[in-house]
Amino acid sequence: MTGENLRRSGRRGSQRRGPDLGSEDSQTLAEVGEFGLITALSAWLPAGPRTLVGIGDDAAVLAVPDGRVVATTDFLIEGRHFRREWASAADVGHKAAARSLADCAAMGAEPSALLVALAAPPDLPVSWARELAEGLAAECARGGAHVIGGDTARDDHVVLAVTGLGDLAGRAPVLRSGAGPGDLVAVAGPLGHAAAGLALLEAGLTGDRLVARDLVAAHLRPAPPYEAGPEAAGLGATAMIDVSDGLLADLGHVAAASGVRIDLDSAALRPGDRLVAAASAVAGSRRHSVRTDPVTRPADAEALRWVMSGGEDHSLAAAFPAGTRLPPRWKVIGTVAGGHGVLVDGQPWAEPPGWDHFSAC
């Protein structure tokens, strides 16, 4: 009476088409059953060179020659983290993988494996599960990882719980707690794009009205710069974090863990034209809707808010010793000093910095 680990009958190797499930697109999970789903998922998810035992047994076995394994787990819950009317199954697969693999990268590790627990309603189309698996596999390929196992269960909405495993390859893990006064603070990857994309979707600016497809894509399929994580570790990063809750909130975690103050320079964080245009479009759509929003900011202020407080970009923010020569993908946005908290141009930021799952509505 339990959903077992994803199983398959011992085969392993390169990407394969799943077994013939008949006219799959019209079938549901209830029709193929738990074991039909598991057999299909295992065929859609290729094993990798470090997969010593993959899908198909009580547990997977992964090679971790470093002697340490980096491990993290993240939920992706329908209605909380994604909406099926906005996100394709492939989007959900990409995002579910990205969340956990970015956490591995933020420790300075190379992503190596995923375990995927999938709960779903019985009327979920099998085609949705297939596209989910394709998204998971594609994002794993971006990071150099493979799905090695998981679980299936029934629930009234889709719930994914994804565990990422990573390999430090001899490097020391980069914690949140190592930043020191004088360090540079830099970011690899975009800021505010995912928040802009979410605002565009919420404003109904989709389809023909979609002004910035890449921003919507940044929300639906964030593309973390995985290689920047081990790169930062190699450059001597003193602290690092995945920007998932928002820049100010996440740097606040670094400041608290390190016992330092982080001073940001707003000139380095000025939103680009596309973000401001998106903010204008969202504001315009609000003026033309019956909905009244109590907070209406100028477009450039709203775009700056996305940069400072928007979450889910899954970029990496890190502190480096002063004088570190950073590769071009790292943009310096501030410095570390004695004290506590995060200041912008020497002042506390006026917006509430974070997101709380249990109090937010």
The answer to whether the CB of 44 falls within 8 A of the CB of 36 is no
Tell me the closest approach of the beta carbon of residue 288 to a second copy, in angstroms.
26
Nearer to a second copy, 204 or 259 (CB): 259
What are the backbone dihedrals phi and psi of residue 342, each rounded to the nearest 5 degrees, phi first?
-125, 125
What distance, in Å, lies between the first and last C-alpha atoms of the chain?
35
76: which residues sit within 8 A by CB, 6+ positions away? Answer: 82, 92, 95, 96, 99, 159, 160, 161, 162
Among residues 217, 226, 183, the alpha carbon closest in space to that of 338 is found at 183
Tell me the closest approach of the beta carbon of residue 346 to a second copy, in angstroms.
26
Using CA atoms, how far residue 165 sits from 103, 186, 200, 221, in Å, is 9, 25, 33, 20
Nearer to a second copy, 158 or 281 (CB): 158
Nearer to a second copy, 209 or 340 (CB): 340
Tell me the closest approach of the beta carbon of residue 10 to a second copy, in angstroms.
5
Nearer to a second copy, 22 or 209 (CB): 22
Tell me the closest approach of the beta carbon of residue 247 to a second copy, in angstroms.
12
Rounded to whole angstroms, the Cα distance separating 113 from 143 reads 9
Tell me the closest approach of the beta carbon of residue 208 to a second copy, in angstroms.
27
The answer to whether the CB of 163 falls within 8 A of the CB of 100 is yes
Nearer to a second copy, 227 or 265 (CB): 227
Nearer to a second copy, 107 or 281 (CB): 107
Nearer to a second copy, 285 or 309 (CB): 309
Tell me the closest approach of the beta carbon of residue 285 to a second copy, in angstroms.
21
Rounded to whole angstroms, the Cα distance separating 226 from 148 reads 19
Tell me the closest approach of the beta carbon of residue 194 to a second copy, in angstroms.
8
The answer to whether the CB of 339 falls within 8 A of the CB of 263 is no
Rounded to whole angstroms, the Cα distance separating 157 from 120 reads 6
Dihedral sign computed on CA atoms, order 332, 334, 336, 341: negative
